Amino acid sequence: MGEMSVFPNVTWRHCAAKAHYPNMTSKQLRAFLTKTGLTKRGAARLIEISARNMYRYTAGELPVPRTVELALRWVASNPEYRKT
């Protein structure tokens, strides 16, 4: 029997492979903030994390968590949510 999927063109194996992509780097995070016009403090406020942690992520002191990356991408794709 073939693989079952709730999405017709996506298999579970495909999803598992996507989960192994490396997290966003601090350099990529800085570029993303520049591209989207967000400040470190503004981005931190929007996704409800401390500004200090955002500074640590952008400085490379801490790895950028996947949840932070996904939250920022969601905010960038939903301009009605951004009120900075």
- In the structure, what pLDDT confidence band is assigned to residue 5 with cuts at 50, 70 and 90? very low
Q: Tell me which DSSP letter residue 7 carries.
A: S
Give me the phi and psi of 22, to 5 degrees please: -65, 155
How far is Cα of residue 26 from the mean position of the Cα atoms in its chain?
12
pLDDT, position 58: 97
Q: Does residue 2 form part of some domain?
A: no
Q: Does residue 3 form part of some domain?
A: no
Q: Does residue 6 form part of some domain?
A: no
Q: How many residues does the chain have?
A: 84
Cβ(33)–Cβ(46) under 8 Å?
no
Give the CATH number, domain containing residue 41: 1.10.260.40
Q: Can you tell me the distance from the alpha carbon of 31 to that of 66, in angstroms, rounded to the nearest whole number? A: 16
Query: Could you give the C-alpha distances from 68 to 6, 10, 64, in angstroms and in order?
Result: 26, 24, 7
pLDDT, tens only, 45-82: 999 999 999 999 999 999 999 999 999 999 999 888 76
Residue 40: what residue type? K
This prediction has a pTM of: 0.72
Domain coverage including residue 36: 23-81
Q: Does residue 76 form part of some domain?
A: yes
Total tally of structural domains belonging to the chain: 1
